[in-house]
Structures are given as structure tokens and as C-alpha cells.
Amino acid sequence: MSTLKEKLYEKIEQHRPRTEKLLKKHSDVVVDQITIGQIIGGMRGVKSLVTDISYLDPNEGIRYRGYTLPEVFKKLPKAKGGEMPMVEGLIFLLLTGDIPTESEVAEVADELSKRRILPRYVYEVIDSFPCCSHPMTIFSSAIMTLQRESFFTKKYSAGISKMEYWDPTYEDALNLLAKLPEIGSYIYAKLYRDGKRIQSDPSRDFGGNFAHMMGIKPPYDDVARLHFIIHADHESGNVSAHTGHLVASSLADVYLSISAMINGLAGPLHGLANQEVLRWLQGVYDKMDGKIPSEEEMRQFVWDTLNSGQVIPGYGHAVLRKTDPRYSVQREFSLKHLKDDPLFKYVDLLYKVVPPILQEQGKAKNPWPNLDAQTGVIQWHYGVTEYDFYTVLFGIGRAIGITANIVWDRALGYPLERPKSLTTEMLEKVAKEQSAKK
């Protein structure tokens, strides 16, 4: 058994009694109350999910296993010759809660490298897509195609104890994660390049190999590592994470669950916002003939968008109430590597202009930028200008967090998810009764 799997098993055994005790002794404890506003309003703030993989504080931003993003970047072992940590280290951290040593990270890299080979039929499925299919549609379908490989499904059909569900789920998770860079880079080659696949290099790490298969030179390997790490998880309630967890709760395997989570990520209010940011910026760029707008001109572009009833992509968040630390990490990288890039200057100007406008408009609860406001500019700078592809990059990263969650869902025996609905008439009745009491 690998060190990662052994450590994961140890952690699962230590954790199980905590969940069992909460369920057996404290099942009736009230945690929160729910209002009609929350029921109709997309369940904002309803505390009804549990995960130990990450936690999102509205003012501080995301913590992975208790570590802030700057701590994660400082503590995880770095890739050789790069300034960013290896993605393999994050996989170890999210699954076990421990910061891995260099040799533990090397072991995970080796393990993933052995699982990378993509069956031929996946390439054929990608090849068979009709022209103009969105890369997220192809990405989701390619993952679904792999479902026939599910180890969990085979074990489940043969009969397996609930206590062991996590084991084949873990195998599926690692097998799928190892293949995602191959799938993503082939979709890119097929849609936007000459369609020829660059062979995977087993000596490279997850991020380095992805950059290699995209055919882009360093520091794009660091861009890939940075990108996959910051997109990995954002606690359980966001659309992609929640979808992955919900589908997996029916004991659908990792392939079915991750394909579903990719579909959730493909919506413009969620993961597709990074493509929308670039589309918006390109519109401004074209109108300005490439010149940097003045603050006043940029303000006008922002107001024009708002006045036409559209949102400013890359700004606002359902939970965060401050600048997203994932935006800040990317900004720091951009200031170091692409500070003279004209699009970066646009993005920086927007950071100055948009928050006061959204505050003045008074609708958005969070006027600050989220991670999607920066992502595309970095990709564009390194030659990935086909912005429809950006959410695939997001999906590769997000799968790391969601698979870790699904493995733990299986380990702790979380049941089928099934919240209760009410009718509008029932809500009106409750509202009337409560008003009468006041």
C-alpha cells in the first residue's frame, strides 16, 4: 500500500468515531434556523453540509485543511526548478490533512504518473464531437466515457462492505485525476491547434506535464501548478462541489460524479465566469483600439454593462465579503511576471473602478473581485487565448478537491442526500402564522 493510502486509512480510522459520536449522541442538537428568504433564495448561508477538506470564511477566504492559501504555498514542497508547489502535495494534504514530505510528494507523483495512460476510446470520443461543441461539454463527456473503468462500480456489483467503499473510490479518484491533464490538453490540441497530441512525459509532475502537453514553455508549468492549486476546493456548498457530493451520495462512482460536477461548473455564474471576464475585457479592448482606458472611460464601460442589466463578471460572491485571496495570489504572480501586459493593466484598473461602482449601485453584497477576474489574463499572456477553454482548466483543479470529498464521504458513510421541499402555499401559511404571533 502506498504511503498516501496508508496514511489516509489511518486518518479514516481515527475520524470515524467522531462522526459516529455526533450522530449517536448529538443528533438532535440544533445548529441553525432557516428563513423563507433562504429557502427561496438559493439556500444562502444554510448550514447543512459537512466537510473537513476546506472551509470558506466570508472575510478571510478559503482554508485548505486549516491552512490559508499563503500558508499552503509556503509549506507544500516545491517543484524542482519552479517557484510553485507540486499539485501532488496538495492531493496528499487534502486527502490526509497532513503537509507531506518531499519523498511523500515524489511517491504520489510516481503513482499518478503510472495511472496517466488514457484508453484509445477516449481520444476517439473527443475526436467524434461535432464542430463548435464547447470544451466543457467535451470534457464532461470524456470523463463519462471513462466510467466503464470504475473500480468502485465493479466492486459494488460483486458485493463489498460499506466500511470498504472508500478504498475503490480512492482508486477511481487517483485514476481519474491522473488522466485529467491528458484529457484537457488533448481537447485543447483538437479544438485549437493541429489536433496532434504531445506525448505525456512520465518524469514531469502533474503541472509540469500539463504545460508540456499544452506545448507551452516555463513558467507556464508554474502557472499550471498555481492554477490547479487555487481552484481545488471552496468548501462544499458551491455548485460544482455540491453537485459532485450530491451525485456521489447515490453511490454513483467518481466518474459519474465528477462529470456531473463539471456540468455545474460550466454555468456562467460559476466557473464559466473566467471566460466571461475575458470576453468582457476583449469588448473593451476592441472599443479602445488596444489603448488603456482612463479611469473615467473604464467607469463608463462598467456602468454601461450594469445599465444593460448584466453582471460584471469576476466580481461578487455568494459567500465572500472581501477580495478573494485566490485573486490576490494570482495578482501577486501577475505583478511579478506580467505587469506590463496591457490586459493586466485593464484588470488592475477594474480593481480600482468596479468595487466603488458596485457599492454605489447597492445591489451586490460583495463588490470585490473573485478568482475569475484574474485567471484569464494570465492564461492569455502565455498564449492560451481561446477563452472558452478556461473553465476546463478550472475543472481539472476542482476535481482534486471534489474527489477528496467523495473519498471521505464514502469513508464516513454519509447517506443519500435528500432535503425536503415545501409548496408556496405552505410557506404562505407559515408566514401568516408567524405574523399573527407578532
313 in contact with ligand HAX (CB under 6 A): yes
Which residues lie below 8 Å from residue 171, measured CB to CB, with a gap of 6+? 151, 152
Q: Does 135 bind ligand HAX (CB under 6 A)?
A: no
Q: Which of residues 252-291 bind ligand HAX (CB under 6 A)?
A: 269-271, 273
213 or 298: whose CB is closer to ligand HAX?
298
315 binds ligand HAX (CB under 6 A): yes
Note whether 413 and 424 are within 8 A (CB). no
- Catalytic residue of the set 270, 324, 381, 409: 270
Give, as ranges, the residues between 316 and 375 that touch ligand HAX (CB under 6 A).
Answer: 316-318, 363-366, 370, 372
221, 372, 381, 409: which is the annotated catalytic residue? Answer: 372
> DSSP states of 236-297 as a string?
S-SHHHHHHHHHHTTT--HHHHHHHHHHHHTSTTTTTHHHHHHHHHHHHHHHTTTPPPPHHH
Least Å from the CB of residue 411 to ligand HAX: 27
Candidates 20-28, 98-106, 157-165, 306-314 — which segment interacts with ligand HAX by CB under 6 A? 306-314
- Residue 372: CB minimum distance to ligand HAX, A: 5
Q: Which stretch binds ligand HAX (CB under 6 A): 168-176, 206-214, 307-315, 409-417?
A: 307-315
Element holding 57 (H helix, E strand):
strand 54-57
Question: Is position 317 annotated as part of the catalytic site?
Answer: yes
Closest CA to 211 of 72, 387, 383: 383
**Active-site pick, 227, 317, 348, 381:** 317
Cell numbers for 76, please give them.
507544500
Q: Give CA angle at 76 (109, 394), nearest 5°.
A: 70
The reply on whether position 181 binds ligand HAX by CB under 6 A is: no
Give the distance, in angstroms, between the CA of residue 344 and the centroid of all CA atoms in the same chain.
23
Q: Are the C-beta atoms of 399 and 350 separated by less than 8 Å?
A: no
Least separation, in Å, of the C-beta of 7 and ligand HAX? 30
The rounded distance, in Å, linking the Cα atoms of 264 and 242 is: 9
| Smallest distance from ligand HAX to CB 114, Å | 32
In the set 314, 325, 395, 401, which binds ligand HAX (CB under 6 A)?
A: 314
Q: What is the DSSP string of 175-242?
A: HHHHHHHHHHHHHHHHHHS-SPPPPP-TTS-HHHHHHHHHT--TTHHHHHHHHHHHTS---S-SHHHH
Q: Does 401 bind ligand HAX (CB under 6 A)?
A: no
Please give the residue ranges that form the binding site for ligand HAX (CB under 6 A). Answer: 238, 269-271, 273, 306, 311-318, 363-366, 370, 372
Q: Which residues form the catalytic set?
A: 270, 317, 372
